[in-house]
Amino acid sequence: MIMMMMTTTKHYTFWILLIFSISMASCSTIPSLGAPEIGINYGRYGSNLPPPEAIPSLVNSLSIKHVKTFDMDPRVTKSFANTGISLSLCIPNDKIPILASNASEAESIIRTFILPYHKNTIITSIAVGNEVSLMPQFSSHLVSAMENVHQAIKRYRLHKKIKVSTTHSLAILSRRFPPSAAIFHKSIAESVLKPLVRFLQRTNSPLMVNVYPYLAYKQSFPSIPLDFALFQPMNNSKRRKYTDPYSGVTYTNLFDIMLDSVDSAVKSLGLPKIPMMVSEIGWPSSGDPGEVAANLENARVFNQRLIQHLKRRGWNKIPVYIFALFDEDQKTGATVEKHWGLLYGNGSRKYDLNISPPI
Contacts of 357 (CB under 8 A, 6+ apart): 304, 307, 308, 311
List 37, 280, 328, 337, catalytic entry = 280
For residues 275-297, give the mean pLDDT: 96
Q: Percent of the chain scored above 90 by pLDDT?
A: 81
Q: What is the pLDDT of residue 322?
A: 98
- Judge whether 349 lies within some domain: no
d(CA 118, CA 159): 12
Q: Given pLDDT bands bounded at 50, 70 and 90, which one contains residue 34? A: low
- Judge whether 161 lies within some domain: yes
Of 169, 161, 165, residue with least CA distance to 281: 169
Residue type, 144: S
pLDDT at residue 10 tops 50: no
We report the CATH number of the domain holding residue 189 as: 3.20.20.80
List 37, 105, 131, 328, catalytic entry = 131
Q: What is the pLDDT of residue 6?
A: 41
pLDDT at residue 108 tops 90: yes
Q: What is the pLDDT of residue 317?
A: 76
pLDDT at residue 342 tops 90: yes
Task: List pLDDT tens digits, range 192-250.
Answer: 999 999 999 999 999 999 999 999 999 887 789 999 999 998 777 778 899 999 999 99
Q: What is the pLDDT of residue 107?
A: 97
The rounded radius of gyration (Å) of the Cα atoms in the chain is 20
- Judge whether 2 lies within some domain: no
Residue 125: its H or E element: strand 122-130
- Judge whether 344 lies within some domain: no
- Judge whether 358 lies within some domain: no
* Lowest-confidence region among 114-123, 253-262, 313-322: 313-322
Q: What is the pLDDT of residue 9?
A: 38
Q: What is the pLDDT of residue 221?
A: 73
Helical H segments across the chain, by residue range? 9-21, 55-61, 74-79, 96-101, 103-113, 136-155, 186-188, 194-202, 213-220, 226-229, 254-268, 296-313
Q: What is the pLDDT of residue 2?
A: 45
Q: What is the pLDDT of residue 1?
A: 60
Nearest 5°: the CA angle 249, 254, 255 is 95
- Partnered with residue 243 across adjacent β-strands are 250
- Judge whether 276 lies within some domain: yes
- Judge whether 353 lies within some domain: no
Of 321, 320, 327, residue with least CA distance to 343: 327
For residues 316-330, give the mean pLDDT: 92
For residues 249-276, give the mean pLDDT: 96
Q: What is the pLDDT of residue 16?
A: 39
- Judge whether 328 lies within some domain: yes
| Residue 131 known to be catalytic | yes
Q: What is the pLDDT of residue 231?
A: 96
Q: What is the pLDDT of residue 316?
A: 66
Residue-averaged pLDDT of the chain: 90
Say if residues 273 and 264 touch (Cβ distance below 8 Å): no
- Looking at the structure of the chain, the number of domains it has is 1
Say if residues 26 and 51 touch (Cβ distance below 8 Å): no
| Residue-number span of the structural domain to which 272 is assigned | 9-25+34-338
Q: What is the pLDDT of residue 4?
A: 44
Instruction: Evaluate if pTM is beyond 0.75.
Output: yes
For residues 100-105, give the mean pLDDT: 96
Q: What's the Cα-to-Cα distance from 58 to each of 51, 91, 228, 351, rounded to whole Å?
A: 11, 24, 31, 14
Mean pLDDT highest for which of 23-37, 70-84, 208-222? 70-84
Q: What is the pLDDT of residue 148?
A: 98
For residues 15-44, give the mean pLDDT: 60
For residues 309-330, give the mean pLDDT: 90
| Residue 280 known to be catalytic | yes
Say if residues 217 and 224 touch (Cβ distance below 8 Å): yes
For residues 36-50, give the mean pLDDT: 94
Q: What is the pLDDT of residue 167?
A: 98
Q: What is the pLDDT of residue 233?
A: 87
